[in-house]
Structure formats: C-alpha cells, structure tokens
Amino acid sequence: MIKQVLIGIICGAAVLTAGILIGHFGITKSSSSAPSWVTDVTKDVDESLIEKFLSEVDNIQIQENLRELTKVPHMATTKGDEQTVQLMLKRWQDPETGLDKAWREEYLVYLSFPDPKNPNKVTVVNQSDIPYAAYSPAGHPKGKLVYANQGKPSDYQLLNQKVDLRGTIAITRYGGAGRGAKAINAAPYGVIGVLVYTDPLDINDGLMSDTNETYPHSWYLPPSGVERGSFNGQYGDMLTPYLAAKDDTYRIPVENITGIPPIPIQPIGYEDAYILICALGGEAAPESWQGAFNCTYNFGGPGFKPTSAFADSDVKLDIFNSGSLKNSSNVMGVIRGSVEPDRYVIYGNHRDSWVHGAIDPSSGTSVMLELTRVLGRMVKQGKWRPRRSIIFGSWGAEEFGLIGSAEYTEQYFAKLSERTVAYINVDIAVFANATLRASGMPSVQDVIFTAAKQVAAPGLDSTSVYDNWIRYSNRTSPNNGIIPKLGFLTGAGSDYAAFVHYLGITSMDISYTYDRSKTNARIYPAYHTAYDTFEYASKFIDPGFLSHQAIARTAGNVLIRLADSLVLPLKCSDYAETLDEYLNTAVSLYENQLKDREISMEPLKHAVASFRSAAAHLDHVIRTSDLRNETPLQVRKINDQLMLLDRAFLDPLAFPDKYAYRHVIWASSSAGKATFPGLADAYANAELSNDSQDWEKVHYHLSVLSQAIEGAAQTLQDVI
C-alpha cells in the first residue's frame, strides 16, 4: 500500500512536472508574451547579407548597362534622354529584379539649346558639330581677338592694362574661374564676346598630337574635342527659384535671371584655339598664362600679328542659342522599409549627358542599375527588406544646373527634411581606376571606412579599397590616427548640392579617381565632349569595369548599412573634430584683428566646445548602451538626433547673396580658407574694404554661426 502510494505520488509528480513543462514551453502565452514585432524592431544590420550583396555585384552587368545607356546621345529632354527614362523604368519595374515601385516625375524647366538649322559659328575658324555654351545669349559680335588666360577678374584687369578691351573678343582657357564667370568678368571691360577652349596643358598633360598621342591612342582629348557645359550661376531651374517648376508655377521674367553670361560665349576645340592663339599679336602674356601650344601666348594686338594669315581680321561669333521651356523627367524608384518606412535613405545620380556621356553620368547610372538589380532581386525573392525605405533618383537636366534634383527637393521639401537619413550621390562613378575618392559630412566618414574595408581594391585581391585609398590620400586625425582623407561638399558640383545646402541632409559623393602622380589633367580628358563614349570608357578609363564594381560594392555597402543598422552609422564626434579644426583655423586667422575691433570670438569657441562635448557624450551613450534591449523609442530618439544633426546647421538668412545656400558649415566660399565659409568671406570682404559696416557683418555672421552650432549641440545633448 505504501509502495502503491509512493508509486502514485511519484507518477503524479512526474505527470505534474510534465504538465508544468508542457504548460510553460508548449503553449504560447497570449497576454504577456512578446509581440511578434519585438524581434523586428530590435534587429541590426545583417553582415551575411552584405557579404551576399558584395558577391552578387557583377562588373559585366555594369559594362552592359553602360553600353545600353550610351547607345545614343542623351542630352536632357532630347529623344535620347527619353530612351534612358524608359530604360530606367523598365529596369526598376522588372518583376524579378525591380523595385517596389518606380515612376517618372516631370518638371517644366528652362534650358538653353543651339539652333540645329543655324549652327553656332566662329569665323576665321569653322566648326563641324554644334557645341555651345548653355545659357550664353545669342548674338553676332565681331571684333579683334585678345587672350585673357582663364577669364578671372585678375586676368581681365591685367589684360586691360595692356590692351583696350572695348569691342574685343576674348579667348580664354577652361579652369581657374567658373564657366559663366569668364564672360561675366569680361563684360565690364567692354569685351563683346568670349571663346573658351581646353588647353592641352590643363587636360592632356601637354600632349596634343592626334596621330599618336590622343584618343584613340590614349585617354587624352583629341584636338577637335570641345568641352560643353552650363554657363549659369545658380542651381535649380532659374525661372522658378525655390519653387518646383510645375506647369502653372510662377516664373520670373527671363530678363531677371542673374548669373548668366551677359555677352555671347562659345566653346571651341584646341585645334581651333591653337590657330587663333598662335596668330595673336601684341605683347607676350606672362609665364603663368602660357599653355602647351608650341608658340608664345600673346595678349593680342588686339587682334592678330600683321604677319599672320589672319593679319587684321576680326573674329566673329554667330551664336544662335535660345532658351526654352522643356519637360525634364526624374525617374524615381523605392524599396519600402519594413520597420521604419518613414525614414529614407536616398541614392541618386543624374541621367542626362552632354553627348553620349559614358563617364558623365552613365558610369554612375550603370552602377546604380547594378545596385538596384541585386537589391531588387533580394526584395522580389522575399529574402530581404530594409529596415528603412530606400529611394533611388535618376535625376534629369543636371548638366544645365542640377535641375532635376533641385526641383525634387523643392517639391518635397518638408517630407524629405523630416525623414531623410542620408543622401548618397554617385555621379561619375569612375574618373580613373587608381583609388577611392569620397566627400561628405564628417559624420559619414566612419560608415564609408567600414564599407571600404570590406571591398577588395580593383585588381588588387589582397588589398581593400580602404587600404589602397589610405596610400593615395591620408591625414592624421586627432580622434582616429592616420586615416584616408574625406573631402567636403562645399560647392554645387553635382546633385548633392540641394541635399547639402538647401535641405541640410547628411550627404556623400563617392567615386574612383586618379593617381595624381601620373596625371595633372584637370579632369578626365573627354569630360563633356563628344569623345566621352562607351569605347573610351571601356578602353581607357576602366577596362574590365572593376573600378565600377568596387564603387557599386562600396556605395551599396554604405547604402545597406544606412538602411539596416539599428543605430544609424553616423558619427557625430567626427563632425566635432572638423568643427574644432575650422575653429582653430578661424582663431589663428582672425582673432587678433577682431579683438582690436571689439568683436569677440568667445561665443564661437563656446559653441564648438558645447558641440564637442555633446557629441562625445552621445557617442559614449551609443557605445555603452545595450540598445537592442532598450525600447525602440530610445533607439529612435538617438537616431533622430543623428539624422537631424545637419538640419540644425541651416539658416535661411545666413547667406542672403547665395541662392539656396543655408548650411552654415558647408556653404561655398570665395575666401579660400579651410574654415567656416560665411565667416571667411565676411572677414575677407571687411579686410578689403575696411568699412565699419563690413566689420559689423563679420560680427553678425559670427553670431549666426555661433547660434547654429550651439543649436546643433543642443540637439545632441540629453533631450531634456
């Protein structure tokens, strides 16, 4: 009986235990168990997915993309441009490898074209194709030729001391001054027309023979190559400042456009420039004005040497350009985010070219198409969906002044400002195949480094893109030791401009570029000419497309990390390091003289110190917190601090004379100092004029700057 009881108790205990186990592990709790979303919201970037992405990026696909994209010239709003629109849409809407959604968005924008029935002419010389200077006025100026070097203000000033410039035509070489500036600087002296050409010194390392030196024998520009470009002074559609250029949008009168050439200007090839310049009379120009032609560059009599074939001929420009409103398209594509669809990582490049545009911009577009093919397939197969949304933009009419991207940011200003984590720009993906080049806000340095360390350098299997990069370009960072040198995005060189300067979105620009020990070319020699073709690119820029592949892998890696990381990979202490350097430069350049004028730099020092300490604190919080086990709102709080950091540097009133420049740290500057741009410019201006009102402007800008940096520091501090 006792035994039976014992057995009964033991069995009962066993059954009870079994029951407890079943009850505990076998049945899902409804009330207190974790909701299914807990795992999703705390998930971090998946390194194996990045491996997979890197292995799937294919150089031959990129090559074939480029071949397809460059079949016909695709200048903005032409038939060729429309073909590329259709190509992008087809790829991004592909059921196997496309994105969640893709569509086109049109803007009615003001462009400038030559007249096909009346090709622009430069008499004395003749031209075969129709290159032109976009936004040059039409006109038929005729006058004696003079040589004005690079068309800088100082060039015309010197030239004017030698020659009466009234009624002359000036020939200038590219470089040194903005395109339009060469004409704008000329007009006050009475110059009535301008020519611009590419000197072999600046683009071809001096070489100029098309029988054995230039393309197709090398990457150098042949004598007939003409560099085109937009000769305007601000970015975005010029008739609709700050407004998206929709059909009914208010447009300023064309005559109110500022910053474009007031007199006709025309680009020519150096074969023509050679004939003209070597025939010029007058005194010899200074050494620094001399180019690669085998003759002395004279100022001009004005006009030609009496002994030359042209003797006292005039040069006549017949420019038939005209402005017109055209529909330009952006092609947009998205992959919806799974956890934070309201956070955007934007990746973009322009689609339009001047002629075939193999390198500019189709190298970048080929890379973008390969990225979207690999990512799109993972999405379509259900293998991946990013935490945050990804937006791809194929911008229109960049060549005319970053128009498509600027109009996009104007139209969606609020939404993009509120939600965009970062913008990645890959325009010319490969300038040359030597090394990575990256520019951006300092906070993106770390994620670019991480990505570059995971990608093999093209042609160097055991060296990473990062290790290769550090050999070509490096600096010593107080925080990080010797590291590759990241550039800054201080100008409006590509479609990042509106994102950086107008919206204050953390941005970067990524490419492969030159070995500067091998060339001094201003840029790859076929830039903006009819020679920028698939053949040129595949033979002389990146045979095998391995540098394209490296860019696709690096930029794609950055993209995935920005889209998938639990905590945004943006490092604010790297930003602080740059502000510190800017401050040190400013103090050493300006403090003494400002003290004499009772303008204190203490508020700026205080602001940078606040920023430094707030950034260090936030970095520390990120490093030491177990954020995967924190509430997702705690992570979101930190991510919002990181995402919105650059927005805090915006002040729409900081640069009243610079269109759409609002970022007080990165605005363009003419002072040429490695410090805060508005301060440097205001100081240079005051120093020049020594006008007390100009010194007050220095004080004003110091206050603007200090307030913005203090405000940014506030956003990094503990939130309350």
Residues 418-447 touching its own copies, rule: CB under 8 A, are 418-419
Cβ neighbourhood burial of 414 (10 Å; 0-12, 13-18, 19+)? exposed
Least distance between its own copies and beta carbon 390 (Å): 9
- For 621, residues 6+ apart whose C-beta sits below 8 A from its C-beta are 638
- For 172, residues 6+ apart whose C-beta sits below 8 A from its C-beta are 147, 148, 149, 150, 151, 155, 182, 194, 195, 196, 197
327-350 core/surface letters (b: 16 or more CB in 10 A; e: else): ebbbbbbbbebbbbbebbbbbbbb
Q: Does 27 bind its own copies (CB under 8 A)?
A: yes
Structure tokens at 545: 């497309």
- Choose which of 118, 242, 311, 518 interacts with its own copies (CB under 8 A): 242
Q: Does 2 bind its own copies (CB under 8 A)?
A: no
CA 124, 126, 130, 131 dihedral sign is negative
Structure tokens at 463: 């060296």
- Choose which of 10, 12, 381, 487 interacts with its own copies (CB under 8 A): 12
Cβ neighbourhood burial of 219 (10 Å; 0-12, 13-18, 19+)? buried
Q: Toward its own copies, which CB reaches closer, 653 or 688?
A: 653
- Choose which of 603, 616, 658, 668 interacts with its own copies (CB under 8 A): 603
Cβ neighbourhood burial of 420 (10 Å; 0-12, 13-18, 19+)? buried
Least distance between its own copies and beta carbon 238 (Å): 15
Q: Does 663 bind its own copies (CB under 8 A)?
A: no
Catalytic residue among 227, 370, 398, 577: 398
Tell me which stretch binds its own copies (CB under 8 A): 223-231, 281-289, 370-378, 706-714. Answer: 706-714
Q: 381-410 mask for its own copies (x: CB under 8 A)? A: --------x-x------------------x
Q: Does 24 bind its own copies (CB under 8 A)?
A: yes
Q: Toward its own copies, which CB reaches closer, 12 or 216?
A: 12
- Choose which of 238, 441, 566, 712 interacts with its own copies (CB under 8 A): 712
Task: State yes or no: is 398 an active-site residue.
Answer: yes
Q: Does 1 bind its own copies (CB under 8 A)?
A: no
Half-sphere exposure of 473 (CA within 13 A, CB side): 19
- In the DSSP assignment, the letter for residue 538 is I
Q: Examine residue 458 and say whether the peptide bond preceding it is cis (omega within 30 degrees of 0).
A: no
Q: 86-115 mask for its own copies (x: CB under 8 A)? A: ------------------------------
Q: Toward its own copies, which CB reaches closer, 28 or 462?
A: 28
Give the separation between CA 569 and CA 197, rounded to whole angstroms: 44
Q: Does 630 bind its own copies (CB under 8 A)?
A: yes
Tell me which stretch binds its own copies (CB under 8 A): 55-63, 120-128, 316-324, 337-345. Answer: 337-345
Q: Does 262 bind its own copies (CB under 8 A)?
A: no
Q: Toward its own copies, which CB reaches closer, 72 or 243?
A: 243
Cβ-contact 677, 668 below 8 angstroms:
yes
Supply angle C-alpha 247, 251, 256, rounded to 5.
Answer: 155
C-alpha distance from residue 141 to each of 114, 195, 226, 263, 353 (Å): 16, 11, 21, 9, 29
Q: Does 38 bind its own copies (CB under 8 A)?
A: yes
Structure tokens at 101: 């959604």
Least distance between its own copies and beta carbon 137 (Å): 23
CA 523, 525, 530, 531 dihedral sign is negative
- Choose which of 653, 657, 672, 690 interacts with its own copies (CB under 8 A): 653
Q: Does 67 bind its own copies (CB under 8 A)?
A: no
Tell me which stretch binds its own copies (CB under 8 A): 38-46, 170-178, 422-430, 560-568. Answer: 38-46
- For 710, residues 6+ apart whose C-beta sits below 8 A from its C-beta are 603, 606, 607, 610, 611
Size of the site for its own copies (CB under 8 A): 83
- Choose which of 355, 589, 665, 704 interacts with its own copies (CB under 8 A): 704
Residues 195-214 that bind its own copies (CB under 8 A): none
Residues 340-379 that bind its own copies (CB under 8 A): 340-342, 344
Structure tokens at 82: 């429309």
Q: Does 644 bind its own copies (CB under 8 A)?
A: yes
Least distance between its own copies and beta carbon 336 (Å): 5
Q: Does 415 bind its own copies (CB under 8 A)?
A: yes
Q: Which residues are catalytic?
A: 398
